[in-house]
């Protein structure tokens, strides 16, 4: 079928091609196979949210004719995959649930659903648990994390990180937090408000995990796909976002996003730009150049790609930790350290990293850095990206990883792909990232 040896898959972001067909996760993304010699393969649509065909099997060639019958079947399927209740219904259910006696408050562990009294019989063979009001305020603890790496990749912040984020946002004076894929931060903000000690902060959670609709009002949660900027709740959800982004009362907005790490950078950057744009339309005209303050949590090795897509972003040294991730735990050293970092368009000087955890301020770089990240006088930067102490290589004239041994023979070729025809700097295969189609992706760089 394919006439070419496929090198990878590129994502095509092209608005003028008309609306993309929809899978249960909203509009699909358009991909293109890239072949040896740079020739373009056939384009196809695939799911934006699931990186494994097992989780969403949508596939359509760009030039494929879809019969009316198939179109109807598809619409039926998309409908069948909708949440069992509308958000409005979930809110009415919560209201009833809150009014129940403690022994009546049951959560079905299998169905991940808060049950109303009449419904328990239908779940009698399922494991039910009692829900206290304290648990009701911590849905991220009550719900089973959706750990599937190829779709939700729901890794929840360890307390250390969650509190660092919250305290940082408070100290920067933000009053409204747009939580994109950060349910635990959203929850923490609401808990802090309940303590009534400080001025409250508003929080709006955007997440594809609709189980959260059971716990939050329509003004606090929108069922949202961050890979295609799709609001499952349509216009009503969009207007919730718009009014949340208004700073007319002087309340500053910040976005904090923690996408699944397997996700493609380009569609995420595109969605965050659109969110920033929506924020901008709410600003007075004298603020016309500014971007919405944003934090994007992602592994350090995506730095070149993120900065390419969002040039105002800088990577911070802060290591983000998760509760339910087997690998990324604080206190580990060497390769076991968390590779996850904060990327932000907020001035790094203003983001104070905790001294007691080993961060210090570099007055030359004007940012907080990890203890092992020593300033190199020759490069004039704090060079380490991965948390280990890097060393200067005089042959390369730059700082390199500690494991790096300079090899004269390799100098001739490309360190990235091994080709002798070019250097790594101009390697056409750099910035590779996995896509849902099990190939190595080479996202379009536009160059
Ligand atoms: C790496 S976890 C981040 C959770 C965060 N560390 C916390 O503790 O609040 C990724 C989050 O993004 C959500 N998510 C995954 N795919 C998404 C998508 N396509 N659109 C929106 N949210 C998505 C998941 O449900 C999950 O809550
Ligand atoms: Zn899908
Ligand atoms: Zn059940
Ligand atoms: Zn420095
Ligand atoms: Zn150096």
pLDDT tens digit string along 424-437? 667 776 544 433 33
**Mean pLDDT score, 18-37:** 89
Q: Using a 6 Å cutoff on CB, does residue 339 contact ligand 1?
A: no
- Which of 205, 208, 262 best tests ligand 1's pocket when mutated (most atoms within 8 Å of CB)? 208
Contact 299, 311 (CB under 8 A): no
φ and ψ of 70, to 5 deg: -70, -40
pLDDT surpasses 50 at 2: no
Supply 122's token pair: 């239908």
In the block, residue with structure tokens 């929850």? 187
CA of 384 to the centre of ligand 5 (A): 10
For residue 209, the ligand 1 atom closest to its alpha carbon is: 25
CA of 30 to the centre of ligand 1 (A): 22
pLDDT on residue 435: 36
pLDDT on residue 446: 31
Q: Using a 6 Å cutoff on CB, does residue 203 contact ligand 1?
A: no
Contact 384, 300 (CB under 8 A): no
The percentage of the chain sitting over the pLDDT mark of 90, rounded to a whole number, equals: 71
| Sheet with 221-225: strands ordered across | 230-231, 221-225, 202-207, 176-180, 253-257, 294-299, 340-344, 314-315
In the block, residue with structure tokens 């060079």? 383
**What ipTM was reported for this prediction?**
0.98
CA 376, CA 380: separation in Å to the nearest integer? 5
Supply 311's token pair: 């040039």
- Which of 260, 266, 267 best tests ligand 1's pocket when mutated (most atoms within 8 Å of CB)? 260
Confidence of residue 30 (pLDDT cuts 50, 70, 90): very high
DSSP-based three-state secondary structure for 302: helix
| Closest among 265, 351, 352, 347 to 300, alpha carbons compared | 265
In the block, residue with structure tokens 């509190």? 163
For residue 156, the ligand 1 atom closest to its alpha carbon is: 8
Q: Rounded mean pLDDT of the chain?
A: 88
Nearest ligand, CA 378: 5
> Residue 17, exposed/middle/buried by CB under 10 A (0-12, 13-18, 19+)?
exposed
Nearest ligand, CA 395: 5
pLDDT on residue 404: 81
Domains of the chain listed by start with CATH number: 6-80 (no CATH), 87-136 (no CATH), 159-370 (3.40.50)
CA of 55 to the centre of ligand 2 (A): 7
Pairing verdict, β 221-225 and 359-362 = unpaired
Which stretches within 246-322 are classed as H helix? 265-280, 303-309
Q: Using a 6 Å cutoff on CB, does residue 211 contact ligand 1?
A: no
CA 430, CA 64: separation in Å to the nearest integer? 31
CA of 83 to the centre of ligand 3 (A): 15
Instruction: Tell how far CA 240 is from the center of its chain.
Output: 20
CA of 147 to the centre of ligand 1 (A): 10
195 vs 71, 188, 190, 198, CA distance in Å?
51, 11, 9, 8
423: which residues sit within 8 A by CB, 6+ positions away? 413, 414, 415
pLDDT tens digit string along 399-416? 999 888 877 766 566 666
Q: 163-180 burial string, b = 16+ CB within 10 Å, else e?
A: ebbbebbbeeebbbbbbb
The residues pairing with 376 across neighbouring beta strands, listed in sequence order, are: 381
Q: Using a 6 Å cutoff on CB, does residue 258 contact ligand 1?
A: yes
For residue 258, the ligand 1 atom closest to its alpha carbon is: 3
pLDDT surpasses 50 at 380: yes
- What is the dihedral sign for C-alpha 163, 168, 169, 173? positive
Query: Could you tell me how many helices (H) and strands (E) the chain has, helices first?
Result: 9, 23
**Mean pLDDT score, 305-333:** 85
pLDDT tens digit string along 189-225? 999 999 988 889 999 999 999 999 999 999 999 999 9
Nearest ligand, CA 377: 5
């Amino acid at each position: 079928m394919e006439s070419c040896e496929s090198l990878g898959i590129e994502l095509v972001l092209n608005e003028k091609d008309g609306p993309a067909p929809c899978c249960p996760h909203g509009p699909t993304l358009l991909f293109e196979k890239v072949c040896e010699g740079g020739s373009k393969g056939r384009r196809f649509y695939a799911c934006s949210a699931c990186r494994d065909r097992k989780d969403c099997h949508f596939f359509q060639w760009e030039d494929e004719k879809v019969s009316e019958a198939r179109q109807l079947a598809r619409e039926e399927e998309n409908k069948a995959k909708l949440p069992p209740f509308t958000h409005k219904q979930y809110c009415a259910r919560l209201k009833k649930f809150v009014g129940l006696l403690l022994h009546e408050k049951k959560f079905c562990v299998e169905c991940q659903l808060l049950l109303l009294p009449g419904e328990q019989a239908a779940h009698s063979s399922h494991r039910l648990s009692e829900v206290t009001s304290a648990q009701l305020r911590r849905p991220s603890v009550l719900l089973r994390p959706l750990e599937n790496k190829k779709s939700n990749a729901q890794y929840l912040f360890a307390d250390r990180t969650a509190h660092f984020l919250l305290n940082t946002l408070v100290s920067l004076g933000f009053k409204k937090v747009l939580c994109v894929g950060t349910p635990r931060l959203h929850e923490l903000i609401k808990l802090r408000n309940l303590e009534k000690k400080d001025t409250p902060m508003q929080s709006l959670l955007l997440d594809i995990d609709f189980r959260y609709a059971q716990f939050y009002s329509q003004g606090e949660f929108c069922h949202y796909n961050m890979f295609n900027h799709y609001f499952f709740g349509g216009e009503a959800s969009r207007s919730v976002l718009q009014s949340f982004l208004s700073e007319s009362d002087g309340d500053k907005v910040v976005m904090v996003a923690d996408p699944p790490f397997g996700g493609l950078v380009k569609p995420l950057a595109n969605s965050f730009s659109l969110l920033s744009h929506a924020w901008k339309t709410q600003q007075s005209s004298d603020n016309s150049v500014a971007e919405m303050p944003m934090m994007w949590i992602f592994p350090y090795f995506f730095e070149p790609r993120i900065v390419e897509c969002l040039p105002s972003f800088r990577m911070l040294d802060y290591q983000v930790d998760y509760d339910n991730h087997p690998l990324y735990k604080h206190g580990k050293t060497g390769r076991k350290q968390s590779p996850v970092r904060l990327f932000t368009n907020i001035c790094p000087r203003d983001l104070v990293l905790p001294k007691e955890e080993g961060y210090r301020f570099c007055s030359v770089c004007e940012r907080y850095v990890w203890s092992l990240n020593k300033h190199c006088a020759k490069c004039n930067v704090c060079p380490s990206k991965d948390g280990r102490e890097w060393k200067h290589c005089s042959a390369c004239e730059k700082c390199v990883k500690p494991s790096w041994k300079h090899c004269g023979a390799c100098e001739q070729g490309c360190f990235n792909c091994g080709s002798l025809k070019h250097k790594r700097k101009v390697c056409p295969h750099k910035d590779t990232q996995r896509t849902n189609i099990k190939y190595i992706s080479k996202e379009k760089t536009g160059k």
